[in-house]
Amino acid sequence: MSSNLATKLREGTKKAHTMAENVGFVKCFLKGVVEKNSYRKLVSNLYFVYSAMEEEMERHRNHPILSKIYFPQLNRRRSLEQDLSFYYGSNWREQVALSPAGEAYVQRIRELSTSEPELLISHLYTRYLGDLSGGQILKGIAQRAMNLSNGEGTAFYEFHDIPDEKQFKADYRQALDQLPIADATVDRIVDEANAAFGLNMKLFQELEGNLVKAIGQMLFNSLTRRRTRGSTELATAE
């Protein structure tokens, strides 16, 4: 018997997905406006979020339901560590910390693991399938916007243990559909997936202030350079 969980998750989170894509930070990102300091703060938060998800999935690897979607090849913790080392240097562990939104996100994951571990599916679905889909587009944007060499600072988006990402996503959705869960549990998982989108939106919204300041500074520097160049040209003409 199929639970049709994958289909219900896709249909049930469409609105939340659209809302997340319309957060200012994400809209700027998609337009190629990526500021390195804001981006590395996002990577810092994601490191803690994925560490929590992956630790809890390891804890529940023999769970009657979660074991069926336990795919260690999805794990992002090590790739995020590579990126943090790139952005912060070898002593990155001393520099990174959770933001308030990141802390709430991690707390929710830990709470679910203890009280309703099946709802961790919502967070796995929201993050990992997003990374395998739109995340691949974001990788290219980040590389161009921050002038990154291939592989530098974007290890997060590289799934070396998944040779065929399209096939893996199809297999993952099939595994979701075949989970032996009741309709009431399916509904709770969909509700939690919407909440997961909300938690991600708060991470992005925290970064908007930093991004606006950075863009303002870039514009100011550009105007200053133009004025200086104009003054120099005028002095030369005189």
The confidence score (pLDDT) of residue 235 equals 47
Instruction: Kindly tell me if the per-residue pLDDT of 127 is higher than 90.
Output: yes
pTM of the model: 0.88
pLDDT band, residue 224 (cuts 50/70/90): low
Give the model's confidence band at 150: pLDDT under 50 very low, under 70 low, under 90 confident, else very high. confident
User: What would the mean pLDDT of 126-130 be, rounded to a whole number?
Assistant: 95
Does an H or E element contain 9, and which? helix 5-12
- Residue 200 reports pLDDT greater than 90: yes
Lowest-pLDDT range, 134-138, 149-153, 227-231? Answer: 227-231
**Confidence class for position 210, pLDDT limits 50, 70, 90:** low
Tokens of 5: 């969980």
Query: What class does CATH assign to 5-208?
Result: mainly alpha
Q: Which two tokens stand for residue 75?
A: 């794990």
Q: Calculate mean pLDDT across residues 82-101.
A: 97
- The type of residue at 107 is Q
